[in-house]
Structure 1
Amino acid sequence: MSAVTVEINGQVDARGVRCLESLVGDRQIKTAWYGEELQSTNTRAVDDLRRGVIDGQHLPRIYLTDLQTGGRGRQGRTWISDKQNLAFSIAFPIAPSLASNLGLQSIAVGVAIAEAIEHEFAPIKTKLKWPNDVWIDGGKFGGILIERVSSVADCMVVGVGLNVSSAPPAEEISHGAAAKSLANCLGRMVSKWEVLDAVARRLIDIQVDLEQDAQSVIQSFRQRCLLTNKTISYQHDGTKQSGLCEGIDDSGGLLVQQGAEIRTITSGEATLVRVQA
């Protein structure tokens, strides 16, 4: 199966094509798919892997669209993304040493986005809301969706949605947090292609960091953890729970003190994680 490096579908932005060609040319990614409009980049990537349309020689492979009409978040939630913002997914092979704990992948992806944004757009500072949200200026800037695909080879698809130039209005948000855009926080226009280049490169690099020095990645998350030392609530097995967040453990689980007990909560166990007023 031969690999086409950048596959174009529809009338796409030439700046996006140049960004993808740069990533491929620098061997950050192997191949790319770029479409004018798509329901979900994660869905397309997962389907391609399951149907055998792509294989190991194509990976890492990035999926990008100018307009995502039905993006997905955790627990079936919708991610709203228009042409001013950024929606993309990267299909990765999973390193054997990391295959047993995808919880760390969510930690690493959040750290990669945070570090890339802080480096490229200083002095902006980020916070990471376990398990999969990136915050700036007191509101949600980005979301992460990671899906494992084991049908052909052990792979994962990392979906990223970032509010670059606009943020959804309050009535369109179901997760209880105000949405913020990078442009509004900086007080200037921001090129989403600049954001894509910086974030995609760091996402690739952090896979190596996670294999070689996972503790440094975990520590980077801890320094930005939005929930640490705050009383939080969450849904677990259909019931509302609450406790004091003590940060994350070395496997990426959330540590919550409930009475005399400290519980470890995995991302698959908890939903609607929020800071209590």
Structure 2
Amino acid sequence: MNDWFPELAQHEIERQAGFALVDVFDELSSTSDHALANLTEYSQRLPALVVARKQTKGRGRGSRSWFAGEGALTFTAMLGRKDIPIEPHNWPRCSLIAGVAMCQTLEALSGSDAFQLKWPNDVYLSGRKVCGILVEKRDAAEPVLCVGIGVNVNNSLEHAPADVQQKAIALTDVTTQQHFLPEILLGFLARFRELCRQNVDSLADLLPYWRNHCLLTGRPVETSQADQVIAGQCCGIDETGALLVQTSAGQKQIVSGEIIRW
């Protein structure tokens, strides 16, 4: 039995969140890589969850890495068509929904108002990154949505190198408490499912919360999509989830791509 993720917690997540399988590992290179490598098997028991106490080669967007030691919460949720009310062709919006769901979960747990969202789904605390999210759609017998998340929770960065402390933070660094990881996971899953139900047709219901928590609004940003770089002032997002950037040539909608400077 894992003291950090007891068997009872696994059963409660299966029961309360409606997961058919919660697979807990002591260490994985990446929960998302493991989920995708075994997608055929997992797709027979959806929704399924892969959780790791330690992740050594986590993946972020593009070629970025997300390394998480003991005390972090790292998991990948695999969801099928019947688990999400949003049609598969609109699953990209689940990326933003996941960011809001985790932001709300951490906000409620900590009581802090210092959480913000960086498009499309990173969660920041006191101006530093606390959570990274990678959402991927794959096809097995049916489409499967893989939501991979890493959250710095009990893995304090207080004694990390100065350059790391400037960019990243853990929840415990603010609350000065040790948190029960399954509680955060269950809270996220419940909020994610509810937000998916509320935003089936568009992200309109998400906009007020996002506007109040947008890290980039009012800041100069540069975005890269394919070979095109767009620079201007961030104006938040619209109901489709696109980033709005005011440029010298007018307002642009950034549907996908990467923020390379802000």
Fold conserved between structures, TM > 0.5: yes
Q: What is the aligned partner in structure 1 of residue 59 from structure 2?
A: 72
> Contact 1:107/1:221 (CA < 8 Å) preserved in 2?
no
Q: What is the aligned partner in structure 2 of residue 110 from structure 1?
A: 99
Q: Which runs of 5+ in 2 are unaligned?
A: none
SS of corresponding position for 1:15: coil
For residues 103 and 27 of structure 1, the distance between their equivalents in structure 2, rounded to whole angstroms, comes to 22
| 2:123 aligned residue (114, 128, 134) | 134
Q: What is the aligned partner in structure 2 of residue 85 from structure 1?
A: 72
* Alignment CA distance shift 1:65-1:16 (3 Å): farther
* Alignment CA distance shift 1:159-1:187 (3 Å): same
* Alignment CA distance shift 1:16-1:217 (3 Å): farther
Q: What is the aligned partner in structure 2 of residue 210 from structure 1?
A: 199
| 1:17 aligned residue (4, 7, 12) | 7
Q: Percent identity?
A: 26
Q: Give TM-score, length-normalised by structure 1.
A: 0.84
Q: Give TM-score, length-normalised by structure 2.
A: 0.88
* Alignment CA distance shift 1:78-1:69 (3 Å): same
* Alignment CA distance shift 1:233-1:167 (3 Å): farther
> Contact 1:19/1:197 (CA < 8 Å) preserved in 2?
no
Q: What is the aligned partner in structure 2 of residue 33 from structure 1?
A: 23
Q: What is the aligned partner in structure 1 of residue 189 from structure 2?
A: 200
SS of corresponding position for 1:75: coil
For residues 179 and 217 of structure 1, the distance between their equivalents in structure 2, rounded to whole angstroms, comes to 26
> Contact 1:130/1:254 (CA < 8 Å) preserved in 2?
yes
* Alignment CA distance shift 1:16-1:240 (3 Å): farther
| 1:47 aligned residue (29, 37, 44) | 37
Per-residue CA distance 1:187-239 (angstroms, 9 max, x = gap): 33323233223223222332222227742123322221111121112334346
* Alignment CA distance shift 1:97-1:81 (3 Å): closer
**Count of residue pairs brought into register by the alignment:** 258
For residues 85 and 5 of structure 2, the distance between their equivalents in structure 1, rounded to whole angstroms, comes to 36
> Contact 1:120/1:198 (CA < 8 Å) preserved in 2?
no
Q: Which runs of 5+ in 1 are unaligned?
A: 1-10
> Contact 1:36/1:67 (CA < 8 Å) preserved in 2?
yes
Q: Which amino acid aligns with 2:41?
A: V
RMSD, aligned α-carbons: 2.4
The 5 Å alignment of 1:176-255 reads: 178-211=167-200, 214-238=203-227, 240-255=229-244
Q: Which amino acid aligns with 2:25?
A: G
Q: What is the aligned partner in structure 2 of residue 5 from structure 1?
A: none
